[in-house]
Chains A and B, each alone.
Chain A
Amino acid sequence: MTFHCDNCNKDWAYPIKKCIFCGSNTTEHVEKKFVIMGCTQINFPSKGNEKVPYYCYLLEDTHGKKRVWKSLDKYEIGITLEIENIQLIQVIPDPGQPAQGSP
């Protein structure tokens, strides 16, 4: 979820309803499909993340907006995921490659 000012071409990752630079109302963008750009496997537990290993993913949508996402499942870099809030909806298969990982 990002908020965009069309007038100033600025983005916020927070629910900013009005652009502080020009006063225009911002537009909310909700993107659900993300390509995995990076992945790290975490091997030591911390409070709230007791089960290891887990994976932290760097995701990017079609507009180049990034987000990070945690999962206990391993997916390959380059595949597309559909995510709503923090919930994985589906792994979108690459036409030339079978989907990997488990949703």
Chain B
Amino acid sequence: MNNAIEDSNIDITDIGAIYISNFLGGPLSGQLHLNSVVASMLPGMNISILRIETACASSGVALKQATYALSEYDNIMVIGAEKMTSPYIVNQAEAIAMASDRFIDRPGCPIFPAIYALIAQQYMHKYDIDHEVLERVSYINHKNANLNPLAHFYHKEVSMDAIKRSPIIASPLNLFDCCPVSDGAVAIIISKEKRSDRDIRIISSQFTTDSISITQKEDMTSFKAVKLAASKAYRESGLKPGDINILEVHDCYTISELIALEDLGFCAPGEASKLVNNGSILKDGMLPVNTDGGLKANGHPIGATGLAQVYEIVAQLRGEAGHRQVHDPRFGMAHNIGGVGGTASITILGVS
């Protein structure tokens, strides 16, 4: 919060409302009523503060809700925060599984890696790709994270050999197909009026929903909510996939990155592996993806993840991304999903 206030040159007393995104405060830390917790950090302000929870898509959705509130407030702070590594009330795997259907999915697929493993298996069979593509996705994200001082894996180099030799968690997914359990927090400020040349414009922010259960998915290799949200965002922005210069996708598992590239329209179904194999998604490629390391290696502090993606795109569009800066991006997109596509948030940002 302090960093966002300093960066924006907006006085904290000029913030009209706050949206706080968090998923696991209840089951892990035994703390809900987070809006009031945030109010306690701002004694005497007594402003509107609201907690948003839509599983892993919480902060993308919080940003969307905040944009609605700009009709009433000049400046709004959006916070994403998650503390996942402290002593917990409900263990982490069980708590994270609360993003899946309790009665339909969890008795048969008790943990998220199992759900995404089934999706990966269907995808790999349908499009005849092998695990090597997923290993490459993991490797690229880890290389990017080594350039990001805020990344979970900043100081840890992960070789292709280590990825290949890592233990199978839920076949066909191994350890390095899965994002880590991370702590993290992000705060951004959005304003009605442009205040400086460093400001980045939110060109579109959309979110849609779909059934929570994996068993209700029409297609196991695509997320309908993502397609719908992306379609709305492209329509509102007047942009098309080819206009996007930098992309942040929700790679909670490596397979999710392939599916995202297809659902967002950057390639046809089944073609994402080509973008991985031909270098398009590298930092200096045609479409740099997850320059911060993605969920895979930057980390996935659930309630903060969508805003961390927005933070990275803003840094890139401002030309302030340091060693991971891509060449002159104009438009960026963040793709943030909850569960197995039960919620999808798409944000398009651009140089103002």
Contacts and interface: CB of A to CB of B under 8 A. Distances in A.
B169 A43 contact: yes
B167 A46 contact: no
Interface in B57-101: 91, 93-94, 101
A63 interface: no
B239 interface: no
A15 B23 CA distance: 27
Grouping DSSP codes into helix (H, G, I), strand (E, B) and loop, the A interface class, with mixed when no group exceeds half, is strand
Given A13-B213, A47-B91, A42 B118 contact: no
A67 B104 contact: yes
A41 interface: yes
A30 interface: no
A23 interface: no
Interface centre among A44, A65, A68, A69 (most CB of B within 10 A): A68
Interface string B300-327: 0000000000000000000000000000
B2 interface: no
Nearest to A57: B108
Contacts, number: 85
Interface in A28-43: 37-43
Count class of interface residues, chain B: 20 to 34
Contact of B110 (A46, A57, A66, A67): A46
Interface in B164-206: 167-173
Given A43-B169, A43-B170, A47-B91, A38 B109 contact: no
B104 A13 contact: yes
A42 B111 contact: yes
B94 A56 contact: no
Given A13-B104, A58-B122, A48 B213 contact: no
Interface of B: 91, 93-94, 101, 103-105, 107-111, 113-115, 117-118, 121-122, 167-173, 211, 213-217, 220
